[in-house]
Structure 1
Amino acid sequence: MAIVLLVSCESHYVPKPKGYNRIEMSPSVFRAMPDSFPYLFEYPTSAEIVKDGSWISERYWIDLHYPAYNADIQVTYKPVKQDRAVLEELLKDSYKLTSEHGVKAYSIDESVVKLPNGMSATLMELSGEVPSQFQFHVTDSTEHFLRCALYFKSSTENDSLRPVIDHIKMDMVHMLNTLEWNN
């Protein structure tokens, strides 16, 4: 006598919800810039100083490269030399570079902040699928002009990168708060 047992394995497919990349971040630890630059600030130990890779070769232009995040803070410096026309041109270029992201940006929020050293800096935060999400420029209006911009070398969408963007943005604010001119 044979008994046939029919068992139905019914499984209910439930799609997984959309997820985000898991990004491990530890609190930033900072170190001082080498004193061979006309600007000095503390930058994170998770970043390394590399020569600027742009087609323009300027002596004090560097990238602070974050290998773990495939991100760079592009640091550009120009002497003003007490020339008001030079300063105006540098400020115009800084705003122009930021506004070029307006094609993809939902918004560009600009704010002026007072730094502990008495200087003022202009911060620009860009929203949307833009290549640079945070930028700033600062000047003493007579001798120095410094501009920094965050860029990712990744096609990952900015909403997935938001924790890293916020983390590096805080590093950039720390850089500003520790900025000194090395005359």
Structure 2
Amino acid sequence: MKLREVFCGAMMLFSVISCHDEPIPKPKAKIRLEYPQGKLAELETNNFSFKYNQLAKPEVNSENAFTIAYPEMKGAIFLSYKKVDHNLDQLIKDSKRLSYEHAAKADNIVEQPFVNPKDKVYGALFEVQGNAASQSQFFVTDSTEHFLTGSVYFYTKPNYDSILPAAAYLQNDIRGIIETLKWKD
């Protein structure tokens, strides 16, 4: 009986010693954020119409200012409309200036031109990479009467790595707005 107790004790001691691995630090985990693909709804104003993600909540702030809110993401796309009155160059210049004001905090700004001659929609999308206040901005115009600008903002301190999935999602929605935009006469 004693031999058996000694054997069991030795086996227990051996298993404890041999199964003990050196601790290995684990990498920091990252949350994988996935957002549902929403259906499209139409927003119509006196000057233009476009399709937007139905998961968002459009708000009319004034006759020429709109917000497309994404409460789940704590973010929004802010839109501002202006009539072109022999001031197109200045409107484009101001829009680009506002986009490049984020350069101080941004790692990079990628300008993507947009041209749709069929619907007379011309403009640019600015993807701002880095810890800037706005991750995306754009302007579109028909070059004679209409000018629309938009910006993405989140209701949180900018941390590019944390908001990147939401920023990419809203940037895709901005592309959808630009691609479905129709001016009214």
Q: TM-score band, normalised by the shorter chain?
A: 0.7 to 0.9
RMSD of aligned C-alpha atoms? 2.4
1:181 alignment counterpart: 183
Instruction: Give the match's secondary structure for 1:141.
Output: coil
Is the CA contact 1:134–1:169 (under 8 Å) kept in the aligned structure 2?
yes
For the pair 1:170 / 2:179, whether they are aligned, the reply is no
**In structure 1, what is the Cα distance between the partners aligned to 2:58 and 2:184?**
18
Equivalent residues, number: 174
- TM-superposed CA distance for 1:182, in Å, is 2.6
Unaligned runs of 5+ in 1: 53-57
Deviations 1:148-173 (A, max 9, x none): 11111123621222222222111111
Q: 1:112 to 1:156 in 2, by over 3 A?
A: closer
Unaligned runs of 5+ in 2: none
**In structure 2, what is the Cα distance between the partners aligned to 1:73 and 1:99?**
18
Structure number with bigger Rg: 2
- TM-superposed CA distance for 1:75, in Å, is 0.4
1:101 alignment counterpart: 102
Is the CA contact 1:78–1:146 (under 8 Å) kept in the aligned structure 2?
yes
| Percent identity of paired positions between Structure 1 and Structure 2 | 31
- TM-superposed CA distance for 1:95, in Å, is 1.3
Deviations 1:118-166 (A, max 9, x none): 4222111111111111111011111110001111112362122222222
Instruction: Give the match's secondary structure for 1:109.
Output: strand
Deviations 1:52-98 (A, max 9, x none): 4xxxxx52201111011001101011111xx22x2222212111111
Is the CA contact 1:37–1:60 (under 8 Å) kept in the aligned structure 2?
no
Query: What letter is aligned with 1:176?
Result: I
TM normalised by structure 2 equals 0.82
**In structure 2, what is the Cα distance between the partners aligned to 1:91 and 1:77?**
13
1:72 alignment counterpart: 76
Q: 1:37 to 1:20 in 2, by over 3 A?
A: farther
TM normalised by structure 1 equals 0.82
